[in-house]
Amino acid sequence: MTIRIRAAAALSGAALLAAGLTTLAPAATAAPTSNAATSTATATTATAAAATPHRVLFDNSKAETAGNADWIISTSQPDPLAQNPAPTTDKSWTGALSAWGVALQKTGQYSLKTLPAGSTITYGTGGALDLANFDTFVLPEPNIRLSASEKTAVMRFVQNGGGLFLVSDHVNSDRNNDGWDSPKIINDLLTSNGVNNNDPFGFSVDLLNITTDNPRAINDATDPVLHGPFGTVTGSILRNGTTFTLKPADNPSVKGLVYRTGSSGNTGAFFVTSTFGSGRVAVWGDSSPIDDGTGQSGNTLFNGWDDPAGTDAALALNATAWLSKA
């Protein structure tokens, strides 16, 4: 999330980095300096900007490990580095999303945390894991309905510049038997959030259970998610998942990037991006593509991350970079 500072000259470079600021307003005009001094200052600013990590918070407060799910980057929470400070493979951290987390960590450009079970999603409270301290929030197949205050927090976070990565699963995928599955929870967020209840992102989750398909990406050479820093996306896998209906009349920025076989336009979208306020949103129709096949013992997991029928790793990582404005 970009924060603008009017009196940037009053803060030291170290203080700015500590505050996590990535964009600064021009400082007040100072006395002329030599070319050498100007070059040194420019180099220092560039180095500081490059050293500022993109901050990503993965949720585990909404029963993301219920049943046979294991949608966490590490069992060490909130900080995965406590399990292994220098991860090299998906087995360096324990969780079916470890490949996702390790790939980001290895770039040296991301700072990752997890919101542990029992926590509350907040925005603007000053807490260490408050959304205001992050650039992107990943909500991977939530199985507990967000409270009214949590839904408002998520919407304000996006509206003010944050990135939201939603992952849905198929209808009737209620892993903890509380009457709420991820399609229902996401649709509830979009229609009852206290900020904008009128389809703010321009899509809704279809209540479907599509057994299997290999959705394909659209042809768009300029799209930053399909052609991003982690590679080119050609498609994904769908193994008991769902799709989305797009409503561009509600939000013209909504865009389907990957579609179910035989679908296009406003129906059958499997991976969708949108914007809201100054923030960005991405949503995926199945948790199978983010499953790396590793995780805690006792879970039956499958490696969708590396499935040759899709380019799921590139899709997840490029989308994370786009959401984080990397």
**247 plus 289 within the same structural domain:** yes
Q: What is the mean pLDDT of the chain?
A: 88
Residue 190's domain comprises 54-323
Domain count, the chain: 2
Co-location of 170 and 39 in the same domain? no
- Would you state the structure tokens that stand for residue 193, as one six-digit string? 């959030």
One domain for residues 155 and 190: yes
Residues 36, 125 share a domain: no
Residue 304 falls within a domain, yes or no?
A: yes
In a domain, 38, yes or no: yes
Stated pTM of the model: 0.85
Question: Does residue 226 sit within a domain?
Answer: yes
Give yes or no: residues 110 and 33 share one domain. Answer: no
Shared domain for 190 and 207, answered yes or no, is yes
Q: Could you read off the pLDDT of 65-98 as tens digits, one per residue?
A: 999 999 999 999 999 999 999 999 999 999 999 9
Which of 292, 320, 314 shows the shortest CA–CA distance to 70?
A: 292
Is residue 136 included in any domain, yes or no? yes
In a domain, 3, yes or no: no
Q: Based on the domain organization, do 255 and 223 belong to the same domain?
A: yes
In a domain, 202, yes or no: yes
Same domain, 68 and 25: no
Indicate whether 196 and 288 sit together in one domain: yes
pLDDT digit string, tens, across residues 276-286: 999 999 999 99
Distance CA(115)–CA(263), nearest Å, equals: 36
Q: What is the CATH number of the domain that holds 156?
A: 3.40.50.880
In DSSP notation, 215-267 reads: -EE---TT-TTTEETTEE--B--EEEE--EEE-TTT-TT-EEEEE-TT--TTS
- Looking at the structure, tell me whether residues 211 and 164 fall in a common domain: yes
**pLDDT over 80 (residue 13):** no
Evaluated on CA atoms 18, 19, 20, 25, the torsion sign reads negative
- 291 within some domain: yes
Q: What is the pLDDT of residues 276-323, one digit of tens each?
A: 999 999 999 999 999 999 989 888 889 999 999 999 999 999 999 999
Q: Do 106 and 38 fall into the same domain?
A: no
Instruction: Place 206 in a pLDDT band, splitting at 50, 70 and 90.
Output: very high
Q: Please report the pLDDT score of residue 51 as a whole number.
A: 66
DSSP H or E stretch at residue 282:
strand 279-284
Residue 1 lies in a domain: no
